Amino acid sequence: MTHQAAIRFPWEDAPAPGEAVEIAEGVLWIRMPLPMALNHVNLYALEDGEGWTLVDTGVHSAQAVALWEALLAGPLAGKPVTRVLSTHHHPDHIGMTGWFMLRGAEHLTSRTSFLMGRMLLLDVEEAPSPEARAFWNRAGMDPRLVAKRSEARPFNFADIVHPLPTGYTRLQEGGVLRAGGRDWDIRMGQGHAPEHVTLWSRDDNLVIGGDQLLSSISPNIGVHPTEPEADPLGEFLEVSRGLLEHARDDQLVLCGHKLPYTGLPVRLRQMIDNHVSGLERLKVFLAMPRTAVDCFPQLFMRKIDEGNYGLAMAEAVAHLNYLYQRGEITRRARKDGAWLWQSGR
């Protein structure tokens, strides 16, 4: 049996914007549009008596506000959102959380997700930071693209995230959350985002996976200028192997993008194997010294354009940092400041 044959999708189509589908008793699946290449995010509403616990919220925009107002009046039956659970701090998951908090909702998330969200909201830049430009140079970005990006206003978290009030309820590894008529074990993911919350039902076969447990695309595992020596790929592989102990074929995984699925053990192995294969290809490719940007064809085996260049660069550096920190490759600075990575010592 192939990996893909063991992964099944019980629903062929996602709910339209402004609609909701009951995916399990007391659990609604909602999909919100996104203004980016990955043009949607999945959200879930868990019925809690007279209110709802909402898992993730989408970005903050006039369109999103209008869709949420329609959802609250329609599929959510006029009952309030009393709690918002953020699986992680990325804008497509936390963007509308502050909007709900101003309407009385409690915010549940991990400590790192809350602190990252607050920090990024307050860090508004009108021009790229010196650290960002240095990171681009070290990765071997084309100087023309460096110049173009240096002249443009960078994306800011606050562009699509509602102001986030202080105060939240911390979710921790090993804790238990009661929501949607179920008790959920809290297990933290890593790699795509630090302290990414996943929930595993004790009462049935549901798993809320956010972006840690995507079905048919891989979560971006990236290194960024804020922590250029980070090893998110090592963290992702370690957590994925650990989650295999809890994964069952019959679990229905409610993921942050694409379609919910079953076959989680196979999917976890698939994601692990994909990264391990990429690392092996890199080691062969790095027989000659290369920059991170030089590694795009070996890692992604598809065309990388300006729209996905930044994510590809972040992920290439993550793979190189993984090998470097384990002593499998070396690096040295080129005259222009770019790191040249090479296999061997």
SS (H, E, C) 276-337: HHHHHHHHHHCCCCECCHHHHHHHHCCCCCHHHHHHHHHHHHHHHHHHHHCCCEEEEECCCC
- Can you list the residues of the chain whose pLDDT is less than 70? 1-5, 345
- Determine the CATH number of domain 4-124+156-287: 3.60.15.10
Could you tell me if 29 and 42 are in contact, meaning their C-beta atoms sit under 8 angstroms apart? yes
**Amino acid of residue 50:** E
Residue written as token pair 């630090």: 194
- The domain limits of the chain are 4-124+156-287
Cα–Cα distance, 48 to 255 (Å, whole number): 21
Taking the CA of residue 340 as centre, how many other CA atoms within 13 Å lie in the half-sphere pointing to its CB? Answer: 9
For 40-62, write each residue's pLDDT tens digit. Answer: 999 999 999 899 999 999 999 99
Could you tell me if 328 and 283 are in contact, meaning their C-beta atoms sit under 8 angstroms apart? yes
Which segments of the chain are extended strands (E)? Answer: 20-24, 27-33, 40-48, 51-55, 81-85, 106-109, 169-170, 176-179, 182-189, 196-201, 206-210, 252-255, 329-333, 339-343
Q: Is 289 exposed, middle or buried (0-12, 13-18, 19+ CB in 10 A)?
A: middle
154 φ/ψ angles, rounded to the nearest 5 degrees: -75, 160
* pLDDT at residue 345, as a whole number: 61
Could you tell me if 129 and 282 are in contact, meaning their C-beta atoms sit under 8 angstroms apart? no
Question: Does the pTM of the predicted model rise above 0.85?
Answer: yes
